[in-house]
Amino acid sequence: MSQEPQDRPYAGLRLMHVHAHPDDESSKGAASTARYVAEGAEVHVVTCTGGERGSILNPKMDRPEILANITEVRRQEMERARDILGITQHWLGFVDSGWPDGDPKPPLPEGCFGLAPLEESVAALVRIVRAVRPHVLTTYDERGGYPHPDHIRCHEVSVAAFEAAGDPDRFPEAGEPWQPAKLYYHHSFNRPRMQALHDAMQQHGLESPWEERLKDWKPEPEWDARITTRVVCDRWFGVRDQALLAHATQIDPDGFWFAIPRELQAEVWPTEDYELVTSHVEAPTPEDDLFAGLLDHPDATGGRI
């Protein structure tokens, strides 16, 4: 069945998510990704590292032959998730820094993404941004979403590349300048959402997976007030879940990811949430669309604005 143009309002627009590891694209913003793809946008994911140092978090996959081939296994998982989400995916080419376990934390391993010179990783991302020419770029907030060194680094690299990609004096060997119009941070993992889902589970007499987590997580109203943009995407929660399951070494199908019925999630919190950090187009907030301000004039974004 062919789609009518009105079903593809985002045709011609490009969104780029920059993530630290394979699986982050499926656990953060995946339903909005699937929605934009369904409605005509091109969505590109840049994965900074190969996830080589990730632990196996699904007991059913914790087997020696999987661990011995973890880099290749995670690459194949990423390919499946990519196909499920309908995205194009690019590897930035750096090695996972691993989660530094211990107190004090051990130094990061030599040659990892967290230790790579910033100029080098920014140049690599600028090259991809200039080749793909996204209108919108997303990344993590300055805390990394959670404090994995690769997530913090992903934030630093993405923000620097957003600033540099449109500047002809920066990285002149990395392609024709291109300035993405909007920069967002992911904010879907927010406390009010977790509380709302927790309360709804209890009201329905179901066991909430978030009891302990909420006890340890102090309310941060000022942080939550940074959310500017809520993208309704509950129709694509099923696609998000399939993409998550594709990362079989990282996602336990019997774990907390799937503890809350999808219908309840749709009823209680049907959006994925973002913070608009920089916009070179008119885009009053609050808004409900990462492409707000771009639908009428996507061509207005070439060069520095």
- Interface residue list for Zn ion (CB under 5 A): 20-21, 24
- Closest CB to Zn ion among residues 145, 166: 145
CB of 93 to Zn ion, least distance (A): 16
Residue nearest to Zn ion (CB): 21
- HEC profile for the chain? CCCCHHHCCCCCCEEEEEECCCCHHHHCCHHHHHHHHHCCCEEEEEEEECCCCCCCCCHHHCCHHHHHCHHHHHHHHHHHHHHHHCCEEEEEEECCCCCCCCCCCCCCCCCCHHHCCHHHHHHHHHHHHHHHCCCEEEECCCCCCCCCHHHHHHHHHHHHHHHHCCCCCCCHHHCCCCCCCEEEEECCCCHHHHHHHHHHHHHCCCCCCCHHHHHHCCCCHHHHCCCCEEEECHHHHHHHHHHHHHCCCCCCCCCHHHCCCHHHHHHHCCEEEEEEEEECCCCCCCECCCCCCCCCCHHHHCCCC
273 annotated ligand-binding residue: no
Q: What are the two backbone dihedrals, phi and then psi, of residue 159, each rounded to the nearest 5 degrees?
A: -65, -40
CB of 52 to Zn ion, least distance (A): 12
Contact 108, 152 (CB under 8 A): no
289 annotated ligand-binding residue: no
- Closest CB to Zn ion among residues 190, 250: 250
151 annotated ligand-binding residue: yes
CB of 264 to Zn ion, least distance (A): 26
CB of 148 to Zn ion, least distance (A): 6
CB of 241 to Zn ion, least distance (A): 18
Q: Which residue shows structure tokens 């503890």?
A: 259
- Closest CB to Zn ion among residues 152, 260: 152
- Closest CB to Zn ion among residues 147, 286: 147
CB of 88 to Zn ion, least distance (A): 20
- Closest CB to Zn ion among residues 47, 301: 47
- Closest CB to Zn ion among residues 47, 208: 47
Binding residue positions: 21, 24, 151
Instruction: List residues forming the annotated binding site for Zn(2+).
Output: 21, 24, 151
